[in-house]
Amino acid sequence: MFTLKGNRLPAADVKNIIFFVRPRLELMDIIAENVLSEDRRGPTRDFHILFVPRRSLLCEQRLKDLGVLGSFIHREEYSLDLIPFDGDLLSMESEGAFKECYLEGDQTSLYHAAKGLMTLQALYGTIPQIFGKGECARQVANMMIRMKREFTGSQNLIFPVFDNLLLLDRNVDLLTPLATQLTYEGLIDEIYGIQNSYVKLPPEKFAPKKQGDGGKDLPTEAKKLQLNSAEELYAEIRDKNFNAVGSVLSKKAKIISAAFEERHNAKTVGEIKQFVSQLPHMQAARGSLANHTSIAELIKDVTTSEDFFDKLTVEQEFMSGIDTDKVNNYIEDCIAQKHSLIKVLRLVCLQSVCNSGLKQKVLDYYKREILQTYGYEHILTLHNLEKAGLLKPQTGGRNNYPTIRKTLRLWMDDVNEQNPTDISYVYSGYAPLSVRLAQLLSRPGWRSIEEVLRILPGPHFEERQPLPTGLQKKRQPGENRVTLIFFLGGVTFAEIAALRFLSQLEDGGTEYVIATTKLMNGTSWIEALMEKPF
Amino acid sequence: MDCYTANWNPLGDSAFYRKYELYSMDWDLKEELRDCLVAAAPYGGPIALLRNPWRKEKAASVRPVLDIYSASGMPLASLLWKSGPVVSLGWSAEEELLCVQEDGAVLVYGLHGDFRRHFSMGNEVLQNRVLDARIFHTEFGSGVAILTGAHRFTLSANVGDLKLRRMPEVPGLQSAPSCWTTLCQDRVAHILLAVGPDLYLLDHAACSSVTPPGLAPGVSSFLQMAVSFTYRHLALFTDTGYIWMGTASLKEKLCEFNCNIRAPPKQMVCTHEFLHEVPAASEEIFKIASMAPGALLLEAQKEYEKESQKADEYLREIQELGQLTQAVQQCIEAAGHEHQPDMQKSLLRAASFGKCFLDRFPPDSFVHMCQDLRVLNAVRDYHIGIPLTYSQYKQLTIQVLLDRLVLRRLYPLAIQICEYLRLPEVQGVSRILAHWACYKVQQKDVSDEDVARAINQKLGDTPGVSYSDIAARAYGCGRTELAIKLLEYEPRSGEQVPLLLKMKRSKLALSKAIESGDTDLVFTVLLHLKNELNRGDFFMTLRNQPMALSLYRQFCKHQELETLKDLYNQDDNHQELGSFHIRASYAAEERIEGRVAALQTAADAFYKAKNEFAAKATEDQMRLLRLQRRLEDELGGEFLDLSLHDTVTTLILGGHNKRAEQLARDFRIPDKRLWWLKLTALADLEDWEELEKFSKSKKSPIGYLPFVEICMKQHNKYEAKKYASRVGPEQKVKALLLVGDVAQAADVAIEHRSEAELSLVLSHCTGATDGATADKIQRARAQAQKK
C-alpha cells in the first residue's frame, strides 16, 4: 500500500496494481502519469481503479482524455461513505465538503451523506424521525426520502437502533468552530492537528529518560500517537476541560504507582502470579499515563503563554457580546506583528459572527489591513469567507446575536470546569450553539425556540418515516433515546465532547451518535476556504 | 388401485419403466403427424407443428402452416408460413421456436407465434444450403447445428450470443452421413457422425475416428443415434437391428440388444404419453410384496383407516427396525413422483400418519412437498398444459416456471402461485405485474393515457417494479409519449435518466437528474446536452437550473476556464468575473504588463459589481506591482509579490528608510502598524541607535512595552531598560518584571495597590535575592487587608 504520488510507481514485483482514489480530477492526472510511465517501463501490469465512495463520469472522462482509461481492467467503486472513528463517531472525511456545499453549490458530498445514511439505515433500521435545520439538511432529508422510495421492497426489517436523526448545517452555527476549543482533545487538535485520529508531536518530551545519556541523542522524528477511546485513560480525559485534566493525571499516577508497590505485598507464589498477570495492563497504563502527561505539559506551555491568554480573552469578550462592533486592538496588534493569517482570520470572522456582521467601516479596515500585511492575493480568500457568511457587513443595522445568545443561553458566567453541569464547559463559558440546538430539540422541543430558529439561516423541519407496527419501540421507563446527529460541513472535537457530556447526563434521556462530513477545527476549516493563487 | 404396477415394464434386472397418459390431446389434426415437422419443447413445453413443409407448389392454399400448441394440445397460435422452406424446428431453453430454413436463416418466434428476430448461420451455409439441422441444449443455452449440402458442419452453441463455428472437414466424406448428433462434453459442443461403419467425432479443432467399446461385429452402417438429455448416454442403432448403449464419451458400454428391426425409425415424437423410469422411492413402495418401510407405512395407514389393529402391527414392525423416519421420507418422496392427486394424497396421508409417531421429524420436507405438489397440479391442469415432473420442476426452479407462465400470459395463475408460496414481492408478484405491464403497453388499440393509468392502478407503488423497464418496452414499440408517462412513476432517477436521454428528452432528463441529487448523473446529462445543443441554448438551459449551472462551473474550473468566464459574463456576475481575472493574473501571465492588465480587467469588473473596496484594493495592487518592479530595477533584490508590509520592511532592512516612509505614506499605512513594523525591522537589524531615535520621534502610538519586549527578545537588557522607564503606569509592572527589576516592580505594584500585580510580582520572586522583596509584598498585602 503506497500513497499516490506522481511519476513512476514504487518498484515492486507485482502483476496487479489497484488505485484507491477519491473521484477528484487532479488525482486522475497523477494516476495517468503513473500508468504512462509504467507502460514505458516494459512488462505490462494489470491496473484496476476503485473510486471511493463513488465512480465519477468526469474522472473517467479525464482518464480517457489522458489516454489511459483503457489500461484499467476494472473500474469499480468502493462505497465507503461513513468511516467509523470511534464507538460513537462517524466521518466522511471529505475536506472539501463545506466549500463545495456552501460556496460552489456542488452537492456531491450531500448526496454521499444521504447514501451513507441509507446504508446506516439498512444496517440499523429505519430512523423514524428526522429533524433538520439548514438548507443542506433539507436537501439531504429530501434525498433520503427519495432514496427510500427507490429502495422500497428491498428493505430488510430491522428493529431501529436510532430514534431520531438530526441534520444540522454547519452554517447554522458558524460561530463554534471559530472559537478555540478548550477540551483536552480539542486543544491537542488546535495546537498539533489530529489527522485521521493520529497526532504528530514534537519528540523532545517523549525521549526515554536514561541516566548518563546527557540528552545527546534526542529523537528528531515527530512522535506519532493514535488517539481514540480504546485507550482507557484517553477515553476518560479527552472530553474534559483542559483545566480538569491535570488533577486526573496526578490521581492516576498515584493509583498506578500504588499498584506497582503492591509487589512488595505479594508474598505467596499465587499472589506473585496474580501480580504478574496484571503487569501488562499496568505497564500499558503507565505508558499511556506517561504519554498524556507529556502531551499535557506541551499543551500547558501554550495555554499559559500570555498571547494565548490575550487571544482567549478577546474571543470570550466577543462571544459574551462585549465590544463586537469596533476595531479590536488585539486583532490590530496581531496583524501588525504579522501573526499567522489563519489566527487573524479566525478572530475577525468570530467578531463578525458575534455581531451579525461588521459595520462596513470596520470590515473594510480589517480587510485593508489584511491585504496590505499579508498580500493582495488574499482578496480571493476574503471573498470566499464573505460568500460563506463568515465575514460580512451588517445589514439592516441589526445585531441578532444577543437575542440568539440570550435565548439559547450561549454564554454561561458560572462555568464549572472541573465538574461541569452544562455543555458550556467545553469552551470555558460558551455553550456551542449547534449542541444547544440538539439539547433543546430533545427537551423541551424546538417549538420553544421558534423565534431564534427563524433568525438562523435555512429552514427547520421535521419528517417522519413510518415504521411497520412490529418494529415500533416500546420504551422502558428510564431508557434513553438514541439520536444520530449529522453535521453537514464539519464538526469540532469540542462539540463532540459536549454531545458526549449530554449522553452521560443521568437525567439527559438522550444518547448521541455523531456523524459528519469532516472532523475539523477553526484552523483546518479556514484553511480549506483559503485560496492561494500562486 | 388393485394393480398399481400394471403399467410398469421391466428394464434389465433392476429397473422398471412406466408409462401413462398425461392428456388426451385436444388438437384437431387433419394431417398425419408424419407429414409434419414437429418439435416439442422439453420440460412440458409447447409443441410446434409445421404442416406441408415439403410442398414446393407456389399456390397460397397449400402454403405451409405453423401451429403451436400447449403440451395438452390447446392451440396457442397458427400462422401461414410465408418464408422459405424449413428444414428443422426446435425450441430454445427460453421457449422460443427456432425455424431453420434451407438457406441457413434461422427465424425465431415466440410462444404465441410472434416473430422475434432472425439470424443467419453464415455465408457458407447460404451457398451450400442446409441439408439437416439440429437444435440442442447445453448449460449455456440452446444451440443450432447445421449440416450443409457440402457435408460440412456449422454450429452455434448459444443462439443468445451467436458465435458461428465451422467444424473441420471429415476426410473422404462424399455423401451425407447416415446419421449424426450433437454432444456436449466439457462445456464444448461436438458432433458425432456415422459414415457407413465408421464413427467420427468433430470438435472445433479436429476430426477423430472413434469406436464404441464392445460393439458387436458385422455392422456395416449406423442408421440412427440418440443421445440422452444430459449428454451422458448414447444409443446407436445399426443396420443389423442391433442397439448399442453406452456412455456418450464412448468409453464404456452399458448394454446391447438386438431388436431385429432393420428399417430405420423415421421420426419419433412422444407427445401425449409419458414414459419414464420408475423412481427409486416409488419402486420401493409399490413393488409387489415390497417390505420397504415406506410400503409398510402405506399399508399401516390404510389399515388404520379401516380401523383395523393390523395398523399397529405394521407400525410396530417399522419401528422395531428403527425405520420410521425413512418410511416417512419415502412416502413424501414417492408422492412427488405421482401424477394422480389421489395417489399423492394417499402417500402424503401415510407420511403424515407416520410423522405422528416420530418425536422430532423436521416438518419442512412434508410442507414443501405439499406446496410443490399443489403448484405442480395447478400447472399440469389441462388448461395450462405444463406437465412437469417433480424432478423437472426442481431443476427448472420456481423462478423459471413463473417465467414460463408469464410467457404464456397466465399472469393471474403466476400471481396466485407467488402469493401461495409467499415469495418475496420483488421476486414474485412485482415481477409478474411488471411483465403484465410490458405486455399491456404493446396493446396498440388502447390510448396512452388509459394504458398508463391502468398500469399505475394495478402496480401502484408495488416495491421492486421497474417502471423504467416498462417504459423502455413502450418506447421499443414506438410509444414515446406513453414511455414518458410511465417514467413519471419511476422512483429511481438513475433509471429514468438514461431512457429519457435515449428518447431525446434531455431537458426532462436534466430535471430528473437534478431531483435525484446524484451529481454524477447530472454530469452525464450535462455532457450529453453540451453535445446536443448549440452553445447558446445550452447556456440558456443551464441558466434555468442553478444546481446544474453550479456543477457545470465546477467542471469548467477544472477543464474549460474560458467557458467559465463566458458563464459569468452571461449571468452578469461581475464579482466572480473579478475574482476570475485576479486568478488569471497569477496563472497565465508572467510579464508585469500582462499581470497589470489582467488586474485592471478585474478592477473594472469589481466596479461593475459595485464592490468598490475590491476595485480599489486591486488598483492598489497594480500600483504596488509597478512600484515593486521599479524597486527591483533601481535597488536590485526581490520585491515582486511581497506584501506591502513586507515591501516596507525589506526597504528598512536594506537601509532605504526614506523610500519606506514614502511607500507607507502613499499607501496610507496606519500609524500603529507602521510603528510595529519599524520597531520589528530595526530590532532585527539590531540598529539600537536608530531604534532609540525612532522611539523619540514622537509619542509612540503603541506604547513602550513592545520596545521592552522586542529588546528582551534580542537579549538586549541594556536597551530594554531604557524603554521600561517610559512605559505607562498600566504596564509598568510587566515591563519592570521583563527587564528583571523585581524590586522596583514590587514598589510600583504596592503603590498601585493592585492585588493582581502583587501576585504577579510575587510569582517572579525566586531564589534568595528576592526574599526581601517577597517579604515587602506580604507586608503590603497584610496592611491592605487590615484596612
Nearest CA to CA, how far is A530 from chain B (Å)? 13
Give the least confident one: A215-219, A394-398, B75-79, B113-117.
A215-219
Whether A450 and A480 map to the same domain: the answer is: yes
Banded pLDDT at A175 (limits 50, 70, 90): very high
Is residue A465 predicted with pLDDT exceeding 80?
yes
In chain B, which residues have their Cβ closer than 8 Å to the Cβ of A371?
Answer: 617, 620-621, 643-644
Q: Is residue A426 part of a domain?
A: no
The CATH number linked to A341 is 1.25.40.850
- Check: CB of residue B39 under 8 Å from CB of residue B48: yes
Mark yes or no for CB contact B617/A371 under 8 Å. yes
**Which B positions 725-754 lie with beta carbon below 8 A of chain A?**
none
> Could you tell me the CA-to-CA distances from B624 to B291, B586, B640, B648 in Å, in that order?
112, 15, 9, 11
Q: Which of A278, A302, A326 is the endpoint of a domain? A: A302
In chain A, which residues have their Cβ closer than 8 Å to the Cβ of B579?
Answer: 379-380, 383
Segment A278-306 shows an average pLDDT of: 93
The CATH number linked to A436 is 3.40.50.1910
Q: Is residue A264 part of a domain?
A: yes
Mutate to test the interface with B, among A52, A110, A149, A368 (most CBs of B within 10 A): A368
Region at A484 (left for phi over 0; alpha for psi -120 to 50; beta for the rest): beta
Nearest CA to CA, how far is A162 from chain B (Å)? 24
Q: How is B332-383 classified by DSSP, letter by letter? A: HHHHHT--SHHHHHHHHHHHHHHHTT-SS--THHHHHHHHHHHHHHHHHSTT
Q: Is residue A214 part of a domain?
A: no
Q: Helix or strand or coil: residue A514?
A: strand
Q: Does B573 touch chain A (CB under 8 A)?
A: no
Q: Helix or strand or coil: residue A495?
A: helix
Beta strands in B139-178 (DSSP E): 141-148, 153-156, 165-166
Segment A451-455 shows an average pLDDT of: 94
Using only C-alpha atoms, chain A has a radius of gyration, in whole angstroms, of 26
Number of domains in chain A: 4
Distance CA B424, CA B437 (A): 19
Nearest CA to CA, how far is A392 from chain B (Å)? 13
Omega within 30 of 0 (cis) for the link into B264: no
Q: Helix or strand or coil: residue B242?
A: strand
Whether A362 and A277 map to the same domain: the answer is: no
Mark yes or no for CB contact A153/B464 under 8 Å. yes
CB-based contacts of A507: which residues, under 8 Å, 6+ apart?
none
Q: Does B430 touch chain A (CB under 8 A)?
A: yes
- Check: CB of residue B42 under 8 Å from CB of residue B24: no
Is residue A290 predicted with pLDDT exceeding 90?
yes
- Check: CB of residue B175 under 8 Å from CB of residue B151: yes
Q: Does B523 touch chain A (CB under 8 A)?
A: yes
CB-based contacts of B752: which residues, under 8 Å, 6+ apart?
B729, B733
Pairing mode, strands A194-195 and A198-201: antiparallel
Of B461, B517, B673, the CB nearest to A335: B673
**Closest by alpha carbon to A70, among A15, A34, A32?**
A32
Whether A63 and A131 map to the same domain: the answer is: no
Which among A15-19, A347-351, B499-503 has the top mean pLDDT? A347-351
Whether A188 and A298 map to the same domain: the answer is: yes
Q: What is the torsion angle, in degrees rounded to the nearest 10, for the CA atoms of residue B402, residue B406, residue B412 and residue B416?
A: 10
Segment A69-88 shows an average pLDDT of: 91
CB-based contacts of B534: which residues, under 8 Å, 6+ apart?
none
CB-based contacts of B646: which residues, under 8 Å, 6+ apart?
A375
User: In this predicted structure, what is the pLDDT of residue B268?
Assistant: 36
Distance CA B559, CA B553 (A): 10
Whether A368 and A465 map to the same domain: the answer is: no
Mark yes or no for CB contact A107/B517 under 8 Å. yes
Omega within 30 of 0 (cis) for the link into A457: no
Mark yes or no for CB contact A376/B620 under 8 Å. yes
Of A58, A150, A373, the CB nearest to B555: A58
Distance CA A278, CA A259 (A): 10
> For residue B33, what is its C-alpha cell?
403427424
Q: How is B717-786 classified by DSSP, letter by letter? A: HHHHHHHHTTS-HHHHHHHHHHTT-HHHHHHHHHHHT-HHHHHHHHHH--TTTTHHHHHHHHHHHHHHHH
Give the bridge partners for B614, in sequence order: none
Q: Which class for B461: exposed (0-12), middle (13-18), buried (19 or more C-beta within 10 A)?
A: exposed
Long-range contacts of B128-131 (CB under 8 A, 24+ apart): B128/B152, B129/B102, B129/B103, B129/B104, B130/B87, B130/B88, B130/B100, B130/B101, B130/B102, B130/B103, B130/B104, B131/B87, B131/B176
Nearest CA to CA, how far is B675 from chain A (Å)? 9
Give the burial string for A226-246 (b: 16+ CB within 10 Å, else e): ebebebebbebbbbbbbebbe
Region at B43 (left for phi over 0; alpha for psi -120 to 50; beta for the rest): left
How high is the ipTM of this complex?
Answer: 0.90
- Check: CB of residue B310 under 8 Å from CB of residue B319: no
Whether A169 and A152 map to the same domain: the answer is: yes
The CATH number linked to A251 is 3.90.830.10
Distance CA A238, CA A233 (A): 8
Mark yes or no for CB contact A533/B582 under 8 Å. yes
H or E segment at B224?
strand B222-227
User: In this predicted structure, what is the pLDDT of residue A154?
Assistant: 56
Q: What chain B residue is nearest to A138 in terms of C-alpha separation?
A: B517
> For residue A367, what is its C-alpha cell?
480587510
Centre a 10 Å sphere on the Cβ of residue A16 and count the other Cβ atoms it contains.
10
The CATH number linked to A63 is 3.40.50.2060
Mark yes or no for CB contact B614/A371 under 8 Å. no
Q: Is residue A112 part of a domain?
A: yes
Distance CA B785, CA B781 (A): 6
- Check: CB of residue B70 under 8 Å from CB of residue B111: no
- Check: CB of residue A530 under 8 Å from CB of residue A381: yes
**Which B positions 457-516 lie with beta carbon below 8 A of chain A?**
461-464, 491-493, 515-516
Per run of 10 residues, the mean pLDDT along chain B (length 787 residues) is: 63 66 70 75 83 59 80 84 85 88 89 87 86 84 88 86 85 83 82 86 84 80 80 80 80 74 43 60 73 81 84 84 84 85 87 84 88 90 84 86 87 89 81 84 82 83 78 86 86 84 88 89 90 90 90 88 91 93 84 91 96 96 94 91 94 92 94 93 91 90 91 89 88 86 84 82 75 81 75
Q: For A464, phi and psi rounded to 5 degrees?
A: -110, 140
Of A25, A152, A375, the CB nearest to B463: A152
Local structure of residue B76 (DSSP, 8 states):
E
Beta strands in B582-694 (DSSP E): none
Q: What chain A residue is nearest to B614 in terms of C-alpha separation?
A: A379
Whether A265 and A195 map to the same domain: the answer is: yes
Q: For B573, phi and psi rounded to 5 degrees?
A: -90, 80
Distance CA A428, CA B299 (A): 89
Maximum distance among all Cα pairs of chain A, rounded to whole angstroms: 81
Mark yes or no for CB contact A372/B643 under 8 Å. yes
Q: For A73, phi and psi rounded to 5 degrees?
A: -75, -40
Q: Which of A255, A275, A302 is the endpoint of a domain? A: A302
Distance CA A461, CA B613 (A): 39
User: In this predicted structure, what is the pLDDT of residue B31?
Assistant: 62
Whether A273 and A295 map to the same domain: the answer is: yes
Average pLDDT, chain A: 90
Centre a 10 Å sphere on the Cβ of residue B224 and count the other Cβ atoms it contains.
17
Q: Helix or strand or coil: residue B327?
A: helix
Sheet containing strand B15-21, edge to edge, reads B8-11, B15-21, B273-277
> For residue B580, what is its C-alpha cell?
476570475
**Which B positions 607-636 lie with beta carbon below 8 A of chain A?**
613-614, 617-618, 620-621, 624
Local structure of residue B122 (DSSP, 8 states):
-
Mutate to test the interface with B, among A372, A392, A531 (most CBs of B within 10 A): A372
Sheet containing strand A89-91, edge to edge, reads A83-86, A89-91, A510-516, A481-488, A164-169, A129-133, A460-464
In chain A, which residues have their Cβ closer than 8 Å to the Cβ of B460?
Answer: none
Mutate to test the interface with A, among B613, B626, B679 (most CBs of A within 10 A): B613
In chain B, which residues have their Cβ closer than 8 Å to the Cβ of A376?
Answer: 617-618, 620-621, 624, 643-644
Mutate to test the interface with A, among B431, B520, B618 (most CBs of A within 10 A): B520
Where are the alpha helices (H) located in A66-134, listed in sequence order?
Answer: 97-102, 108-124
- Interface A–B counts its CB contacts (< 8 A) at 136
Mark yes or no for CB contact B516/A333 under 8 Å. no
Whether A132 and A95 map to the same domain: the answer is: yes
Centre a 10 Å sphere on the Cβ of residue B124 and count the other Cβ atoms it contains.
16
**Helices A379-387 & A522-529 angle (0-180, nearest 10):** 110
Of B463, B518, B641, the CB nearest to A111: B518
Centre a 10 Å sphere on the Cβ of residue B727 and count the other Cβ atoms it contains.
22
In chain A, which residues have their Cβ closer than 8 Å to the Cβ of B586?
Answer: 377, 533-534
Segment A153-176 shows an average pLDDT of: 87
Q: Is residue A509 part of a domain?
A: yes
Q: Helix or strand or coil: residue B130?
A: strand
- Check: CB of residue A136 under 8 Å from CB of residue A97: no
Q: Which residue has the cell 416456471?
A: B401
- Quote the domain boundaries for residue A361: 307-399
The sign one gets for the Cα dihedral B185, B189, B193, B198 is negative
Q: Which of A302, A318, A339 is the endpoint of a domain? A: A302
**Closest by alpha carbon to A320, among A353, A354, A359?**
A354
- Check: CB of residue A252 under 8 Å from CB of residue A233: yes
> For residue A351, what is its C-alpha cell?
467578531
Q: Is residue A453 part of a domain?
A: yes
Q: Is residue A412 part of a domain?
A: no
Is residue A102 predicted with pLDDT exceeding 90?
yes
Whether A373 and A264 map to the same domain: the answer is: no
- Check: CB of residue A490 under 8 Å from CB of residue A98: yes
Q: Is residue A146 part of a domain?
A: yes
